[in-house]
Amino acid sequence: MATADTGSTRIPVSQLDIPWERDLFLRSLVSELSSVLEDVVGLKEASGFISIVGQNMGNQMDLDYKRALEVSRLSRRQVADVLVDLKERIKGDFYIIEQNDDRIVLGNRACPFAEKVVGRSSMCMMTSNVFGVVASQSLGYAKVSLEETIAQGDPECRVVVYLKPDRESAAASGQEYFQSAT
């Protein structure tokens, strides 16, 4: 058994008050990977790499929800519920501000990456891609606009998922997603 000398007492290393556990380790790992990518290739390219990961995860999450709901396609209301639920499952605190046939507006009080996201805007591409893939796979189109993010220092996130390519979505900054051929 490994021990640490603390003066006259020997404490087993496994009993030391160290904050590392799986969740902190994985959040730190993603944050450090994001940081290195941003430093080496720049924010735009780092966001692109993280987008690929987010797209793959979005495809898997979309399939998992459809399988669990026993549907081949999600309704708009189900898409909104899925976006909130999947973030809740990973310790985000997303909520619906507004939803209609044209868009779903979400707020978020807590990022799943917690404090590790601050200053790492490229990590927000996970949210953009997961939301965009889930919405577009069932509804045909999505454009995700990250209007406010905790990563950029905002107190909360505000994410708009546009569901139709129209003037409003065209004027918004963000990433477009289209239903993939099956």
**Which residues of the chain fall below pLDDT 50?**
none
pLDDT of res. 24: 87
Please name the amino acid found at residue 172.
A
Q: Are 31 and 117 in contact (CB under 8 A)?
A: yes
pLDDT of res. 163: 98
Q: What is the pTM of this model?
A: 0.87
**Residues counted in the chain:** 182
Please identify which residue in the block is written with the tokens 């999505």: 142
The CATH number that domain 20-178 falls under is 3.30.1380.20
List helix spans (H) across 11-144.
Answer: 22-41, 43-69, 76-89, 124-139
At residue 103, the 3 state secondary structure works out as strand
Query: How is residue 116 written in tokens?
Result: 């590790």
Q: How far is 182 from 173, CA to CA, in rounded Å?
A: 28
Q: What percent of the chain has pLDDT over 90?
A: 75
Q: How far is 112 from 116, CA to CA, in rounded Å?
A: 9
Nearest CA to 97 out of 114, 83, 86, 111 is that of 83
At residue 99, the 3 state secondary structure works out as strand
